[in-house]
Amino acid sequence: MGPSVIAASTTQFNVLINSIFASGLEDGAIFWLAAAFRLMQLPLGIFGVALGTVTLPLLSRLVVAGRMDAFRSELARAMRWAMLLTLPATAGLMMLAEPIISVVYQHGKFTAFEAAQAAGALRFYAIGLAGYAALKVLVNAFYALDRRKTPMLVSFVAVVLNILLNWIFTVRLGWGHRGLAFSTGCIATFNFLLLYLLMQSQLKGLETRRLLLLLLKVAVAGAALVAVCAASSHWLLADWRVQSLWIKLPALLATVAAGAAAFAACGVCCTLRN
């Protein structure tokens, strides 16, 4: 139980470290980071946590039954689903960060300037969204194999690396609160890649070729989503700073729906061709 709790708590510990660094930056940095992090957690909770919750009992049963080939297959499939569901969300959050933040928060004393600052953090947080989601599945796989200390040890490395990257991005490079968000995104990706390599070594393979093929298809389909978001940012949402909520909200929802449709249509075309 102890290693599991420690590994699970490192994300919040890194958030605390970010807050300490942010306290030495410009006024509002802590608030902008918190606002952006909450929005990044939404798709993570819907997709990543849900996948992790569903896969843990299944993977545990397969280990107990000694069906390691099935364990490998189910784990690889769950991670592909995590990537498929969160990478489009990553693209959407990065392309539409300002109007999303504006619609959710720009009311009362929350100004367009603060929305833009929080949006800058959201873009960098989104870099680690797919890594966070896949980690929810991958860490549970280590628990199913009764290798609880591995995620804990990797999390210790991640904390040290997070402190180092925070210092580089904020003190040396002067990126401000955006540097802290970028560090968080990098740490999530690093965590996933290291645990993935360790699991691949443990299982003697993890269907990496199928994962890479999926990532290629998602990249092609994601280009269509990005194009829709870019067009909307140029026309429908170009004046998000001064538009009223009742103009921005329908425009944003229409953009999200159109982008999702473009991604799905392009993804289906890529699948049919193969």
Q: For the chain, what is the mean pLDDT?
A: 91
- What percentage of the chain has pLDDT greater than the value 70? 95
Q: How many CA atoms lie within 13 A of 201 on its CB side?
A: 7
pTM above 0.85, yes or no: yes
Determine the average pLDDT of the residues in 152-178. Answer: 93
Tell me the per-residue pLDDT of 68-108, one tens digit each, with 9 for 90 and over: 999 999 999 999 999 999 999 999 999 999 999 999 999 88
pLDDT of 8 above 70:
no
pLDDT: is 273 or 246 the higher one?
246
CB 116 within 8 A of CB 34: no
In this prediction, residue 175 has a pLDDT band, given cuts at 50, 70 and 90, of: very high
Q: What is the pLDDT of residue 255?
A: 97
* pLDDT tens per residue across span 192-217: 999 999 999 999 889 999 999 999 99
pLDDT at res. 109 = 81
pLDDT digits (tens, 9 = 90+) for 117-152: 999 999 999 999 999 999 999 999 999 998 988 998
Q: CA 128 to CA 86: how far, in whole Å?
A: 10
Residue 134, class by beta-carbon neighbours within 10 Å (0-12 exposed, 13-18 middle, 19+ buried)? Answer: buried
